[in-house]
Amino acid sequence: VKVLLTGGSGFIAAHIVDILLQHGFDTVVTVRSEEKGKRILDAHPDTPKEKLSYVLVKDVAQDGAFDEAVKSNPPFDYVLHTASPFHFTINDPVKDFLDPAIKGTTGILKAIKAYAPSVKRVVVTSSFAAIVNSKQHPKIYSEKEWNPVTWEEAMDHSQVYRASKTFAEKAAWDFVEKEKPNFDIATINPPLVFGPIVHYLNSLEAINTSNQRVRDIIQGKFKEKIPPTGTFLWVDVRDVALAHVKAIVVAEAGGKRFFVVAGYFSNKRAVDAIREAHPKLESKLPSPDVADDFPSNIFGFDNSKSREVLGLNYRPFKQTISDTAESLLDVGA
Ligand code: NDP
């Protein structure tokens, strides 16, 4: 059984590769350069090339970007689409975020419909960003909620990442409804993802966005002042990766969104978890009694669908933060 995974050089995708291989899938990843492709193969020296290989897709926003990548012999059975920009260097909201997110998603669905009739399901990596309503939180967040962000609001640099994920996911569901392709889709909607890095890093400066605050804590950047937490919901990358694979293995996952969330956190709680797991870092950390910005009255969340349909069993926060810190210390943080 063969799977195409887009954005193979990404933080989450690196974990998905390992879980796909463990499940015995033949895996082809898309990457933007030969160098990144080779790095992935080098990290799996014992895996034969019919089990793991790469194809180049330089920019998912280009028309027809995936037309060649989806053609394969033997043909693909499933596609996992994770490639999408997640960073905060924004020059042009449309070119840097909205186009790659939205056109990347519709582009791969169109290419599959046209050139890969064997594909049965496509799993799209969406986000809590496509669920959250920061102006008016509901009592309980679940898969029923949608971020009400508008195109105009998306031009605001602080909104554009969330908007890109919202519009991309909507475009995927619209495509299936209008085009009625041979495949169904499922989406995985994680909040902030922490966890060990398994991909080769150029430098700690180039670390994926969601792990940056763990790096900052262990480098002493929170010692004087802990920045505001932001979202207060998190999940472990290994659970997110497993969710993607379960979403192809479990027949009933088709046609569903999955809000994959492990629990609440705050930056202060992350500091405390690091203090407990790595006492040698004490001198880099703020004092144990600095204020915690975790609100006294916070929205609820419902992750029952992910537990019941995908069988997820979420890792606890302390373990994840400890493992993340460990993996960053290993690369010299
Ligand atoms: P990474 O930045 O590590 O991965 C993003 C991947 O997308 C990289 O492989 C990147 O390639 C690729 N990519 C970005 N833009 C383009 C483009 N224009 N053309 C081709 N490839 C592109 O981030 P994550 O692993 O964290 O994110 C993976 C997915 O998960 C994204 O869809 C993100 O929105 C989603 N997500 C992440 C969360 C998190 O907290 N980490 C939370 C919720 C959702 P390259 O390496 O070459 O830049």
**Distance, CA 84 to ligand 1 centroid (Å)?**
4
Q: Tell me, what DSSP letter sits at residue 32?
A: S
Q: Which amino acid is at 11?
A: F
250 touches 309 (CB < 8 A): yes
Average pLDDT of the chain is 96
Q: Could you tell me how many residues make up the chain?
A: 333
Per-residue model confidence (pLDDT) at position 199: 65
Q: Is residue 152 part of a domain?
A: yes
Atom 5 of ligand 1, nearest CA residue: 10
Position 202 pLDDT exceeds 70: no
Q: 189: which DSSP letter?
A: E
Distance 123 CA to ligand 1 centre (A): 15
Residue 293 lies in a domain: no
Q: Domain limits at 97?
A: 2-197+232-264+300-314
* Nearest residue by C-alpha to atom 47 in ligand 1: 32
In the reported structure, the alpha carbon of residue 287 is separated from the centroid of ligand 1 by a whole-number distance in angstroms of 34
The CATH number of the domain holding residue 245 is 3.40.50.720
Is 66 contained in some domain? yes
Look up residue 107 and give its amino acid: G
**Within its chain, how far is the Cα of 64 from the centroid?**
24
Residue 170 lies in a domain: yes
In a domain, residue 216? The reply is: no
Q: Report CA(325)–ligand 1 centroid distance (Å).
A: 21
Q: What residue's CA is closest to ligand 1, atom 19? A: 59
Contact 114, 67 (CB under 8 A): yes
Average confidence (pLDDT) over 208-216: 95
Q: Which atom of ligand 1 is nearest to 208's Cα?
A: 3
> What is the CA(240)–ligand 1 centre distance, in A?
13
Closest by CA to 321, choosing from 213, 231, 225, 229, is 213
pLDDT in tens, 181-197: 999 999 999 999 999 99
- Residue 100's nearest CA partner among 119, 112, 87, 113 is 87
Query: From CA 158, how far away is CA 73, in angstroms rounded?
Result: 43
Report the pLDDT value the prediction gives residue 204, as an integer from 0 to 100.
79
Which of 35, 80, 86, 260 has most ligand 1 atoms within 8 Å of CB, for mutation? 86
Instruction: Indicate the top mutation candidate among 5, 15, 84, 202 to test ligand 1's pocket, ranked by most ligand atoms within 8 A of CB.
Output: 84
Cα–Cα nearest to 193, from 227, 148, 150, 244: 244
Cβ proximity of 27 and 248 under 8 Å: no
Give the lowest-confidence range in 5-19, 120-134, 201-215, 302-316. Answer: 201-215
Tokens of 2: 């063969």
Domain contains 132: yes
pLDDT band at 75 (very low <50, low <70, confident <90, very high): very high
Instruction: Decide if pLDDT at 201 tops 70.
Output: no
Supply the pLDDT for residue 206: 82
The total domain count for the chain is 1
For residue range 214-245, what is the model confidence (pLDDT) as tens digits? Answer: 999 999 999 999 999 999 999 999 999 999 99
pLDDT above 90 coverage of the chain, percent: 95
Pocket of ligand 1 (CB under 6 A): 7, 9-13, 32, 36, 57, 59-61, 82-86, 100, 125, 127, 165, 190, 192-193, 208, 210
Q: How far is CA 25 from CA 47, 74, 79, 236, in A?
A: 12, 13, 12, 22
**Using DSSP, how many helices (H) and how many strands (E) does the chain show?**
11, 12
Please tell me the pTM assigned to this model: 0.97
Question: What b/e readout covers 33-47, taking b as 16+ CB neighbours within 10 angstroms?
Answer: eeebbebbeeeeeeb
Cα angle at 197 between 273 and 90, to 5 degrees?
A: 95
| 78-81/2-6 β-pairing | parallel
In a domain, 27, yes or no: yes
Q: Please, what is the angle between helix 104-115 and helix 160-179, to 10°?
A: 20
Residue 333 lies in a domain: no
pLDDT for position 282: 96
d(CA 112, CA 109): 5
